[in-house]
Amino acid sequence: MQFGVFTVGDVTVDPTTGREPSEHERIKAMVAIAVKAEEVGLDVFATGEHHNPPFVPSSPTTMLGHIAARTERLLLSTATTLITTNDPVKIAEDYAMLQHLADGRVDLMMGRGNTGPVYPWFGKDIRAGIPLAIENYDLLHRLWREDVVDWKGRHRTPLQSFTSTPRPLDGVPPFVWHGSIRSPEIAEQAAYYGDGFFANHIFWPKEHTQRMVGLYRERYAHYGHGSADQAIVGLGGQVFMRRNSQDAVREFRPYFDNAPVYGHGPSLEEFSRETPLTVGSPQQVIDRTLGFREYVGDYQRQLFLMDHAGLPLKTVLEQLDLLGEEVVPVLRKEFAALRPAHVPEAPTHASLVAAAGGAKDSTLHAVDDVTGKAPEVAR
């Protein structure tokens, strides 16, 4: 099982000091969090993608490329990549490039984005959110698997004899997750392709996660990718820890009370009861997290949100120490002991290469190096 952190990348005032970090500080803090994640033994760092203040990560592959150069083992991912407003051609190019630079330590999670005004900035319309996600991803999926693509759709200009470069590393595209809170169409999409499904599982009741994962598993089996319990599931989670649980509650409460999304609404206690938020000791986090399995089944990836609501970097890094030293080692052991042998791990570049029968150089050389004539569409 993979463990990691995912970040929204918000610039938020620290409610206890009134201090707001600069964009520069926040960007550097995100990198520090990623580097720390590897140092404490976590497996995954995933960044959000946003194109409006107060968020900084508008250019995920720039950030992930930098982190790739500063880490050895960490898997780099997104939470989420906007499949609606990004050009699928650019996603194909950017993430294939990142995949080469990171030697395969890359996967990504597709999401729609729920901020209406962002869509028209990129020439799109939020009312077409689902059709955009379906059409764009279908094109992206082909661009990574077919060397030369002829394509025509409704939401982008047609392509004729187009080759997305670089070709995926070793001939194997990055693994893709599809993230959604409550759109059954996205669970269906993930199931159709045999891709992973990620339930964000923060800020919302567990029932949403349970229903969406249940649907995805059922449809995954329906489309013949394996049995329902072999589907690839990831979950989010939100925690704040101190060794003494009262200290955790006392320290986190002002951040909770003033947080974007849920602040000034339910109490910390109500929200902890209604959603997977866990504020307490490392043992409480372990117990709650092990409980997720009871309503989604054995799953492959657990990402935690650790750095939002204005928490200072120093505090976040302390949280990562607790997560890496006290929580994740226990979770790894416990989850592994519970998981039946036929339930797979999350796919990695290495496992995908092995499944494809080994690495192959997928560079597309011109057929005629005198005329530079391009290869033709496969018949």
Partner 1 sequence: MSRRTLAVVSAGLSQPSSTRLLADQLAGATRDELVRRGAEVELRFVDLREHAHDVVNNLLTGFPPAALREALDTVTGADGLIAVTPIFNASYNGLFKSFFDVLEAESLVDRPVLIGATGGTARHSLSLEHAVRPMFTHLRAVVVPTAVFAAPEDWSGGAADGALRSRIRRAAGELAGEVERRLPSTGPADPFALTTDFLQMLGRDDAPVTPPGRTGERPAPGSARAGSPPG
- Site residues (CB under 8 A) for partner 1? 130-131, 134-135, 138-139, 141-142, 145-146, 151-154, 175, 182, 184-185, 187-189, 191-194, 203-205, 208, 211-212, 215, 219-220, 222-226, 230-232, 261-262, 264-266, 270-271, 274, 344-348, 351-352, 355, 378-379
CB of 9 to partner 1, least distance (A): 21
| 40 versus 215: smaller Cβ distance to partner 1 | 215
Q: Where are the alpha helices (DSSP H) in the chain?
A: 23-39, 60-70, 88-101, 118-121, 129-143, 184-193, 206-222, 245-257, 268-274, 282-296, 313-322, 328-338, 349-355
Cβ proximity to partner 1: between 139 and 311 the closer is 139
- Closer CB to partner 1, 47 or 275, in the complex: 275
Enumerate residues 6+ apart whose C-beta is below 8 A from 102. Answer: 64, 65, 68, 76
Cα separation, 305 vs 262, whole angstroms = 14
Helix (H) or strand (E) holding 107: strand 107-111
Q: What is the spatial distance between Cα 74 and Cα 34, in angstroms, rounded to a whole number?
A: 8
Amino acid at site 122: F
Identify how many contiguous H helices and E strands the chain contains and give both numbers.
13, 13
CB 4 within 8 A of CB 46: yes
**Nearest to partner 1 of 131, 312 (CB atom):** 131
Do you know the residue count of the chain? 379
| Shortest reach from residue 218's CB to partner 1, in Å | 9
State the nearest-atom distance from the C-beta of 188 to partner 1, in Å.
5
* Distance in Å, CB of 344 to partner 1, minimum: 5
Residue 175 pairs in a beta bridge with 107
Helix 282-296 to helix 328-338 angle (10° resolution) is 30
Closest contact distance (angstroms) between CB of 211 and partner 1 is 4
Instruction: Please name every residue paired with 244 in a beta bridge, in sequence order, or none if there are none.
Output: none
Minimum distance between the CB of residue 310 and partner 1, rounded to whole angstroms? 18
Residue 41 or 226: the one with the smaller Cβ distance to partner 1 is: 226
Residue (19 or 127) nearer to partner 1, CB: 127
Shortest distance, position 241 Cβ to partner 1, whole Å: 23
Q: How far is the CB of 228 from partner 1 (least distance, A)?
A: 11
Q: Is 268 exposed, middle or buried (0-12, 13-18, 19+ CB in 10 A)?
A: middle
Q: Which amino acid is at 370?
A: V
Choose among 210, 233, 211: nearest CA to 220: 233
Rounded least distance, CB 230 to partner 1, Å: 6
Alpha-carbon distance of 276 to 281, in angstroms, equals 15
Residue 120 half-sphere exposure, CB side, CA atoms within 13 Å?
A: 2
For partner 1, give the closer residue by CB, 255 or 282.
255
Task: CB nearer to partner 1: give 15 or 21.
Answer: 15
* Residue (21 or 237) nearer to partner 1, CB: 237
